Every structure is written in structure tokens, then in C-alpha cells.
Amino acid sequence: MKCPFCSHLENRVIDSRLSREGDITRRRRECVQCDKRYTTYERIEEVLPMVAKKDGRREPFDRLKISAGIQRACEKRPISVEKIEHLISEIERYFQDKGEKEISSQEIGRLVMEKLRALDEVAYVRFASVYREFKDISEFVNELKNLKDVENAQKPLSAF
């Protein structure tokens, strides 16, 4: 591991801890040359499927793209970073567990919308407005009505 301060290759591991989920190892290291400390994170490299885009292109599954879209949708919402990271990990794990070599970008989008809908309705609508490429305000209003109808259908009768 190369020191980020002096680029020396030798270091000592001072402390190692597993994340709550047990899938990431956090290590505190100390450079043997400059004595500065830094943190590294280790994650098992998993084979992820290729993503088939709408235009026919294929590209590797990219956690960062999903993360960027979800973070944009959740901006200025009362959603903790831990919840967002957990949601992203759930989505990634779902596609790893499926074991398919290729998935469609539409399938990813649908799962993200499903997870966001359960987490925060405003974040869901924000994501859906970009993902579904609403052409005008009426499509947007229809999505809000559908969301409201689903919410009303799920309320117990005593709530009316």
C-alpha cells in the first residue's frame, strides 16, 4: 500500500475493523518512513453484470452511477448517508445475487424507483422525473396522482 503523503510502499496496520454489514474492512495504517497515518477500505471484488442500455450499448455495472442518481434525488431530504449507502448496497447485492451476466438499465431504474418509493416519496418523484423522461407537466402530475392513489389504498379504513 503506497503512502498518500510520501509514496513509500511500507506501512504498518494499526487497527482493522469490519463494517456493520461485514463486507468492508477499514484499516488504519502508519507509514514506516514519514510516520503519518491514513485509512484504507477493502471490499471483496465481485463480478457484476454488464448493463444493456436503451440505445443498445453495453457497459459494466457502475455503483457510482447509481449512487450519483440516488444522491441527486435525495438532495436536501432528511435521509441519512447511511440509509442511502444501505439502499445502494441492497441494489448492488440484488444484481450480484441474480447471477445474470447482463441486465437492462430499465431493470436497474425500476428497482431504484421501487426502493426510493419506500424510502422517501419526494426522492422517488425526483428520480422518476429524470428516469421516465416526462415530456410535460401532465405526465408529472399523473405520476403524483398514481403515488397518492397507492398511498390512499394502503391506509387503513380508520384513517379516513
pLDDT number for residue 150: 67
pLDDT number for residue 119: 94
- What span, in angstroms and rounded, lies between the C-alpha atoms of 159 and 38? 53
- What span, in angstroms and rounded, lies between the C-alpha atoms of 53 and 68? 17
Which of 77, 89, 90 has its CA nearest to residue 120? Answer: 77
> Using H for helix, E for strand and C for coil, what is the string for 30-68?
EECCCCCEEEEEEECCCCCCEEECCCCCEEECCHHHHHH
Q: What is the pTM of this model?
A: 0.62
pLDDT digits (tens, 9 = 90+) for 44-56: 777 789 999 989 9
What confidence tier does 133 reach under pLDDT thresholds 50, 70, 90?
Answer: confident
